Amino acid sequence: MRKRTLFFSLFLAMILVVKTMVAQEALEPRPSPMAVAIIKFEDTYVKIVYSRPHKKGREIFGVLESYGKVWRTGANEATEITCTRDIKINGKKLLAGTYSFFSIPQEENWTIIINSGLGQWGAYQYNQELDVMRFEVPIEQTKVPYEPFTIEFVQEAENTNLLLMWDKTKVSVPIEFL
Protein backbone atom coordinates (compact mmCIF):
# COMPACT_ATOMS: atom_id res chain seq x y z
CA MET A 1 0.00 0.00 0.00
CA ARG A 2 2.84 2.40 0.84
CA LYS A 3 4.55 1.67 -2.48
CA ARG A 4 1.33 2.44 -4.33
CA THR A 5 0.86 5.74 -2.41
CA LEU A 6 4.49 6.70 -2.97
CA PHE A 7 4.27 5.88 -6.68
CA PHE A 8 1.03 7.86 -7.05
CA SER A 9 2.53 10.85 -5.19
CA LEU A 10 5.64 10.83 -7.38
CA PHE A 11 3.49 10.53 -10.50
CA LEU A 12 1.39 13.59 -9.50
CA ALA A 13 4.51 15.57 -8.63
CA MET A 14 6.02 14.77 -12.02
CA ILE A 15 2.85 15.89 -13.82
CA LEU A 16 2.84 19.19 -11.90
CA VAL A 17 6.51 19.84 -12.69
CA VAL A 18 6.00 19.17 -16.41
CA LYS A 19 2.84 21.28 -16.51
CA THR A 20 4.65 24.17 -14.78
CA MET A 21 7.55 23.95 -17.24
CA VAL A 22 5.18 24.09 -20.21
CA ALA A 23 3.28 27.03 -18.70
CA GLN A 24 6.54 29.02 -18.46
CA GLU A 25 7.29 29.01 -22.19
CA ALA A 26 7.38 32.47 -23.71
CA LEU A 27 4.66 33.45 -26.14
CA GLU A 28 5.74 34.15 -29.69
CA PRO A 29 5.42 37.84 -30.58
CA ARG A 30 2.76 38.70 -33.13
CA PRO A 31 4.04 39.53 -36.63
CA SER A 32 1.80 42.61 -36.50
CA PRO A 33 2.11 43.86 -32.91
CA MET A 34 -0.61 45.84 -31.18
CA ALA A 35 -0.13 49.59 -30.74
CA VAL A 36 -1.99 52.50 -29.18
CA ALA A 37 -2.16 56.14 -30.27
CA ILE A 38 -3.51 58.61 -27.69
CA ILE A 39 -4.14 62.33 -27.55
CA LYS A 40 -5.50 64.34 -24.63
CA PHE A 41 -6.99 67.81 -24.86
CA GLU A 42 -8.43 69.37 -21.69
CA ASP A 43 -11.04 66.86 -20.36
CA THR A 44 -11.13 64.73 -23.51
CA TYR A 45 -8.90 61.98 -24.74
CA VAL A 46 -9.02 59.96 -27.91
CA LYS A 47 -7.41 56.53 -28.07
CA ILE A 48 -6.88 54.29 -31.09
CA VAL A 49 -5.97 50.64 -30.61
CA TYR A 50 -4.65 48.90 -33.73
CA SER A 51 -2.15 46.34 -34.96
CA ARG A 52 0.91 47.33 -37.02
CA PRO A 53 1.51 45.23 -40.13
CA HIS A 54 4.88 45.70 -41.82
CA LYS A 55 5.66 46.32 -45.47
CA LYS A 56 8.34 43.59 -45.70
CA GLY A 57 9.17 44.50 -49.31
CA ARG A 58 5.57 44.05 -50.48
CA GLU A 59 3.49 46.34 -52.66
CA ILE A 60 0.85 47.62 -50.21
CA PHE A 61 -2.05 49.63 -51.61
CA GLY A 62 -3.74 48.26 -54.68
CA VAL A 63 -2.06 44.85 -54.18
CA LEU A 64 -1.87 43.63 -50.56
CA GLU A 65 -4.74 45.94 -49.58
CA SER A 66 -7.07 46.13 -52.58
CA TYR A 67 -8.44 49.45 -53.74
CA GLY A 68 -12.16 49.83 -53.21
CA LYS A 69 -12.38 47.18 -50.48
CA VAL A 70 -13.16 47.73 -46.78
CA TRP A 71 -9.96 47.41 -44.74
CA ARG A 72 -9.63 46.98 -40.96
CA THR A 73 -7.07 49.83 -41.03
CA GLY A 74 -4.29 47.71 -39.59
CA ALA A 75 -3.96 43.98 -38.98
CA ASN A 76 -5.56 41.31 -36.79
CA GLU A 77 -8.54 42.74 -34.90
CA ALA A 78 -10.40 45.70 -36.40
CA THR A 79 -8.95 49.02 -35.31
CA GLU A 80 -10.97 50.72 -32.57
CA ILE A 81 -11.30 54.39 -31.62
CA THR A 82 -12.46 55.55 -28.19
CA CYS A 83 -13.31 59.13 -27.26
CA THR A 84 -14.25 60.15 -23.72
CA ARG A 85 -16.30 63.17 -24.86
CA ASP A 86 -17.97 64.20 -28.09
CA ILE A 87 -15.56 65.30 -30.82
CA LYS A 88 -15.77 66.30 -34.47
CA ILE A 89 -14.04 64.18 -37.07
CA ASN A 90 -13.74 65.82 -40.48
CA GLY A 91 -16.40 68.31 -39.35
CA LYS A 92 -18.93 65.62 -38.27
CA LYS A 93 -19.91 65.14 -34.64
CA LEU A 94 -18.97 61.79 -33.07
CA LEU A 95 -20.55 60.99 -29.72
CA ALA A 96 -18.33 59.80 -26.87
CA GLY A 97 -17.84 56.02 -26.97
CA THR A 98 -15.91 53.23 -28.64
CA TYR A 99 -16.22 52.41 -32.34
CA SER A 100 -14.55 50.31 -35.01
CA PHE A 101 -12.42 52.30 -37.46
CA PHE A 102 -12.40 51.03 -41.06
CA SER A 103 -11.20 52.56 -44.31
CA ILE A 104 -11.53 52.00 -48.02
CA PRO A 105 -8.23 52.84 -49.74
CA GLN A 106 -8.34 54.32 -53.24
CA GLU A 107 -5.58 55.68 -55.45
CA GLU A 108 -6.33 59.35 -54.73
CA ASN A 109 -8.48 59.31 -51.58
CA TRP A 110 -9.69 57.07 -48.79
CA THR A 111 -13.12 56.61 -47.34
CA ILE A 112 -12.94 56.65 -43.54
CA ILE A 113 -15.64 54.67 -41.74
CA ILE A 114 -16.61 54.89 -38.07
CA ASN A 115 -18.78 51.87 -37.23
CA SER A 116 -20.62 50.80 -34.06
CA GLY A 117 -19.89 47.07 -34.52
CA LEU A 118 -17.20 46.11 -31.99
CA GLY A 119 -15.01 43.07 -31.27
CA GLN A 120 -14.39 42.16 -34.91
CA TRP A 121 -11.52 40.20 -36.38
CA GLY A 122 -10.52 42.02 -39.54
CA ALA A 123 -13.32 43.40 -41.70
CA TYR A 124 -14.94 40.03 -42.39
CA GLN A 125 -18.04 40.83 -40.30
CA TYR A 126 -18.19 44.51 -41.35
CA ASN A 127 -21.82 45.66 -41.57
CA GLN A 128 -22.46 48.93 -43.41
CA GLU A 129 -25.79 49.33 -41.59
CA LEU A 130 -23.78 49.96 -38.38
CA ASP A 131 -21.85 52.90 -39.90
CA VAL A 132 -22.00 55.96 -37.66
CA MET A 133 -20.22 58.12 -40.23
CA ARG A 134 -18.21 57.85 -43.42
CA PHE A 135 -16.34 60.51 -45.37
CA GLU A 136 -13.51 60.86 -47.88
CA VAL A 137 -10.07 62.33 -47.32
CA PRO A 138 -7.28 62.82 -49.88
CA ILE A 139 -4.03 60.89 -49.71
CA GLU A 140 -0.56 62.38 -49.70
CA GLN A 141 2.67 60.75 -50.81
CA THR A 142 5.46 60.71 -48.23
CA LYS A 143 9.12 61.22 -49.14
CA VAL A 144 10.22 58.24 -47.05
CA PRO A 145 8.32 54.95 -46.81
CA TYR A 146 6.89 53.83 -43.48
CA GLU A 147 7.83 50.16 -42.90
CA PRO A 148 5.19 49.51 -40.23
CA PHE A 149 1.67 50.85 -40.56
CA THR A 150 1.57 53.84 -38.21
CA ILE A 151 -1.23 55.85 -36.62
CA GLU A 152 -0.39 59.02 -34.74
CA PHE A 153 -1.94 62.28 -33.64
CA VAL A 154 -0.37 65.64 -34.48
CA GLN A 155 -1.56 68.73 -32.65
CA GLU A 156 -0.76 72.24 -33.79
CA ALA A 157 -2.43 74.96 -31.70
CA GLU A 158 -6.20 74.32 -31.92
CA ASN A 159 -5.89 71.88 -34.83
CA THR A 160 -5.43 68.14 -34.40
CA ASN A 161 -4.90 65.64 -37.19
CA LEU A 162 -5.06 61.89 -37.03
CA LEU A 163 -2.40 60.53 -39.41
CA LEU A 164 -2.50 57.08 -41.02
CA MET A 165 0.82 56.19 -42.71
CA TRP A 166 2.11 53.11 -44.47
CA ASP A 167 4.59 52.67 -47.29
CA LYS A 168 4.60 56.06 -49.04
CA THR A 169 0.93 56.83 -48.36
CA LYS A 170 -0.33 59.25 -45.72
CA VAL A 171 -3.90 60.14 -44.86
CA SER A 172 -4.77 63.04 -42.56
CA VAL A 173 -8.10 63.16 -40.72
CA PRO A 174 -8.96 66.46 -38.96
CA ILE A 175 -10.23 66.20 -35.37
CA GLU A 176 -11.83 69.00 -33.37
CA PHE A 177 -12.31 68.84 -29.60
CA LEU A 178 -15.66 70.21 -28.46
Digit-coded pLDDT (tens) for 32-71: 899 999 999 999 999 999 999 999 999 999 999 999 999 9
Distances in whole angstroms, Cα of residue 72 to Cα of each of 6, 96, 105, 122: 57, 21, 11, 5
**What pLDDT shows up at residue 60?**
93
How many domains does the chain divide into? 1
Q: Look at residue 1 and tell me whether its pLDDT is greater than 70.
A: no
Sign of the alpha-carbon torsion through 85, 99, 28, 145: negative
Is 163 within 8 Å of 171 (Cβ atoms)? yes
Residue 8 belongs to a domain = no
> Which residues have CB under 8 Å from 28's CB, separation 6+?
none
**What pLDDT shows up at residue 27?**
73
Q: Look at residue 14 and tell me whether its pLDDT is greater than 90.
A: no
pLDDT tens digits, residue range 92-141? Answer: 999 999 999 999 999 999 999 999 999 999 999 999 999 999 999 999 99
The Cα–Cα gap between 58 and 63 comes to 9
Residue 113 belongs to a domain = yes
**What pLDDT shows up at residue 3?**
63
Higher pLDDT, 22 or 151: 151
**What pLDDT shows up at residue 2?**
65
Residue 43 belongs to a domain = yes
Q: How far is CA 147 from the centre of its chain?
A: 16
Residue 76 belongs to a domain = yes
The Cα–Cα gap between 83 and 101 comes to 12
Predicted model pTM: 0.83
> Which residues have CB under 8 Å from 109's CB, separation 6+?
136, 137, 138, 139
The Cα–Cα gap between 24 and 29 comes to 15
The Cα–Cα gap between 56 and 85 comes to 38
Side-chain-side CA neighbours of 40 within 13 Å: the count stands at 2
**What pLDDT shows up at residue 45?**
93
Strands 80-83, 87-89: pairing kind: unpaired
Domain that residue 77 falls in: 30-177
Is 122 within 8 Å of 83 (Cβ atoms)? no
Task: Please compute the mean of the pLDDT values over residues 140-167 and round it to a whole number.
Answer: 94
